[in-house]
A and B are shown apart, each in its own frame.
Chain A
Amino acid sequence: VLKNDTAEESLDEVVALAYHELRRIAHLRLAGRDRNGGQGRTLSTTALVNEAYLKLAEQSRGKWRDHSHFLAVASLAMRHVIVDRARERAAVKRGGAQRRITLDDVDLAVDDQPDVVLQIDDALDRIAAVEPRVVKVVECRFFGGLSEKETADALGLTHRTVQRDWVKARVLLRRALEP
């Protein structure tokens, strides 16, 4: 994915850039939303990522190979943003039994959400040791909100491979989340 894929530091750098830009833009959008009385402004993952790209593509020219490259990096950054937030919430929550989750869960109790995110994150870390590409697909599809086509472009895979890795991701995540 990286322009220079041998440089671990480069990945850290571009993910950090994306991470902070995603948060910054979200803040600006929310401020505008508040001025409008909370009406008419929405904030979707896709819109956030696209706006971050427009800004970073200009400011950090050369760090992104292209829009697809940015989408992959932004998806990883989104995973960090959400997992960091879950850690903060879990620390505040303190105590209580940890709820075991399944992929069939839909409407999660608010108090369970930090644990759920952290369990998924841990499961993905373990899967990455065995099937790293599958985890990249999950980052793009689930954390980055990318379509199958966008994921394929972002990771340099065929559409069919993305579809297949998504199936594998579901199978492996079910195994990894089992108690």
Chain B
Amino acid sequence: VTESSSPPEDWRSLAALVDTLLDTAPERRADLIAEMSGDDPRRRADLEDLLAECERDAPLLSRPAAEAFCALFDDDAAPSPTRSRIGIGCSGSSVAAEWRQCISPRT
């Protein structure tokens, strides 16, 4: 389940597994994993990892994209081969400036 670079054809079964785990009451999930993995310790570890992943936050997705990537719309933050600034402090009123390029007329 947790093999890296899992192919897309595995994602549907992965999503189904997430459903199965989340359909089960939290206090029953350990038993469910034991039932599903049988005598296969690797399968058991994979399922436990998947359950942990279901409960794991994703900080990158915690803010709306326009805020998380506000520097995309900031002329002063245009890419430079010699500069690598940290894109923090982009919330609140400063977001407006970052939209400047986004709304310029297109041809």
Measured CB to CB, the residues of A under 8 A from B are 22-24, 26-27, 29-30, 33, 38-45, 78-79, 81-82, 85-86, 88-89, 92-93, 95-96, 101-114, 116-117, 126-127, 129-131, 134, 138, 141-145, 164, 167-176, 178-179
Chain B interface (Cβ < 8 Å from any Cβ of A)? 4-6, 8-12, 14-15, 18-19, 22, 50, 53-54, 56, 58-61, 64-69, 71-74, 77-81, 83-88, 92-93, 95-97, 99-104
B96 to chain A, nearest CB (A): 4
Q: Could you tell me the dominant secondary structure of chain B's interface residues?
A: helix
CA of A89 to CA of B60, assembled, Å: 20
For B71, give its contact among A26, A113, A174, A176 (CB under 8 Å): A113
User: Do residues A113 and B72 form an inter-chain contact, with CB atoms below 8 A?
Assistant: yes
Residues from chain B with a CB closer than 8 A to the CB of A110 are 71, 74, 77, 79, 83-87
- A134 touching B53 by the CB < 8 A rule? no
* Interface of A: prevailing SS: helix
The minimal Cβ–Cβ distance linking B62 to chain A, given in whole angstroms, is 8
**Given A23-B102, A103-B59, A131-B12, does the pair A145, B64 have CB atoms closer than 8 Å?**
yes
Q: What 12 additional pairs, Cβ within 8 angstroms, besides A110-B79, A170-B53?
A: A24-B103, A29-B96, A42-B93, A43-B95, A92-B79, A109-B85, A110-B77, A110-B83, A171-B14, A171-B50, A171-B53, A176-B8
Whether A114 contacts B102 by the Cβ 8 Å rule is no
Pick the 5 closest A-B CB pairs, nearest first: A145-B64, A103-B58, A93-B79, A43-B96, A27-B103
Q: Which residues of B contact A179 (CB under 8 A)?
A: 4-5
- Given contacts A86-B72, A96-B81, A104-B59, A30 and B18 within 8 Å (CB-CB): no
Task: Choose from A95, A104, A117 the contact partner of B58 (Cβ within 8 Å).
Answer: A104
Residues of A contacting B103 with CB < 8 Å? 22-24, 26-27, 30
The answer to whether A142 and B65 touch across the interface, beta carbons within 8 angstroms, is yes
* Complex CA distance for A39 and B93, rounded to whole angstroms: 8
10 CB < 8 A contacts A-B: A42-B95, A43-B95, A86-B69, A108-B86, A113-B71, A127-B11, A130-B8, A143-B65, A145-B66, A164-B19
